[in-house]
Amino acid sequence: MTASEVPAVRRPRPPLIAILRILLPAVAGAVLLAVIVAVASSGLRNIAGAASTTRPIELVGPRLIGADSKQRPFVITATSAEREDGSGRIRLNSPVLMRDQGGADEMRVTAAKGVYDETAGRLELTGDVRLAGPSGAFATPSAVYDAKSGEVLGAGGVKAASGANQLQAGSVSVKDKGKSVIYKGGVHTRLNVK
């Protein structure tokens, strides 16, 4: 047997190399898996964050306070409300408007629904709108309160009552601190004279 024919003797590998041959690919796989999980969870958080910013802000028992151009204070309350993002509009459930409470121009308006536009200073009311004030009381399907001027405009079939007297009209406008009430559109009245 010549030296070239001598079989090579395999030297045994140290145990550390055998462990590293298994451990290094496992660590690389774990790092790759961790990167994939981090990217996926970040994407899900971004989607959830975007969804939460598009939801309106919900308010329970809101109370909006202000004063009109004649310095009469008003308070708008509701059972609940939602603020629309960026529009300055607040949707109200069961709103109640009190103007000049305890004063000479006291007025109370209730409705099923409402939208208060902070920018325009307008409260749009719908659904069984009822107004009571020094000029009498009326009911209408919809009305608009101008928070700047203090005027109320009702439309869609107004029904008014004062004592035994009754009135129906297409629209109503309450102006001049309630001293001026103007009914328009098919006005019918019943006066009971005693």
pLDDT tens profile 41-92: 888 887 766 555 566 678 888 888 888 777 888 889 999 988 877 777 889 9
Nearest 5°: the CA angle 68, 72, 74 is: 75
Quick: pLDDT tens for 134-192: 767 788 888 888 888 777 777 777 777 666 677 777 777 776 655 667 777 777 677 66
- pLDDT, residue 142, reads 85
What CATH architecture is 57-190? Sandwich (2.60)
Give the number of other Cβ atoms within 10 Å of residue 25's Cβ. 10
Name the amino acid, one letter, at 139.
A
Confidence check: pLDDT of 121 > 80: yes
> 123 CB contacts (<8 Å, ≥6 apart)?
76, 95, 97, 114, 115, 116, 117, 144, 145, 147
**Mean pLDDT across 94-100:** 89
Q: Report how far residue 64's alpha carbon sits from residue 56's, in angstroms, rounded to the nearest whole number.
A: 17
Q: Does the structure show a pLDDT above 70 at 194?
A: no
Question: What is the pLDDT at residue 56?
Answer: 67
Instruction: Report the predicted TM-score, pTM, of the whole model to 2 decimal places.
Output: 0.61
Q: What is the pLDDT of residue 132?
A: 82
Task: Give me the mean pLDDT over the 3-26 stretch.
Answer: 74
Tokens 């409300």 sit at which residue?
81
User: What is the per-residue pLDDT for 4?
Assistant: 60
Report residue 112's pLDDT band, with 50, 70 and 90 as the boundaries.
very high
CA 190: distance to chain centroid?
42
